[in-house]
Amino acid sequence: NQQTNNAETVYAKALESLPNQPDLNYRMGVSLQTLGKHESALRHFKHSIKYQFKNAQAHFQIGVYYVGRKQYEEAVSSFNEAVFIKPDFSDARFNLGVGLIKLEKYNRAIVEFEKVFTYAGTDKDDDAQLKIGLSYQSIGNVEKAGEEFQRLIDYFPGSEYYPKAKEALKQLSIN
């Protein structure tokens, strides 16, 4: 994308004069990430939080980087920082839950997914509902998993996850 390439050039020029400016480093990271230059983007995100630790978006982007590399401990740590700084950051909260599932910390993941429902305007509520059901299923609580899948069916009939919840519920009744 020509516009992103131009942004990278502009940010690089600005960073020559202001190498420790957190917002410039964050924006450069976003540009580099868009261009698929993930390692360089990570360096800029980390540089950004070195000088402005309370940048929830930078922590989130670092978490996304680590998820892409299946480094879930690091991802969870970054998403944790993001929600500590900005507790209503629903995407960070949701991704924190996903990372916890990858680490097989299902009970804690359930707690994080339940918090997603408290955010007005989130588009992650049906995703979170499915993940709660899957988490209960993973820890062997079939009854609770069934309740959670049924909740998705009842409250999110238009969800892309509706068929998955129906199938999961069907599988639970077979077993």
pLDDT at residue number 18: 83
Going by pLDDT thresholds of 50, 70 and 90, the confidence category of residue 7 is confident
Which of 21, 20, 24 lies closest to 10 in space, CA to CA? 24
d(CA 80, CA 74): 10
Residue 5 has pLDDT above 80, yes or no: no
Is the separation of the CB atoms in 26 and 48 below 8 Å?
yes
Which of 98, 119, 118 lies closest to 108 in space, CA to CA? 98
pLDDT at residue number 119: 87
Q: Which residue has the tokens 């509706």?
A: 162
d(CA 119, CA 156): 16
Which of 140, 158, 135 lies closest to 149 in space, CA to CA? 135
pLDDT at residue number 9: 79
Mean pLDDT of 75-89: 97
Residue 46 has pLDDT above 80, yes or no: yes
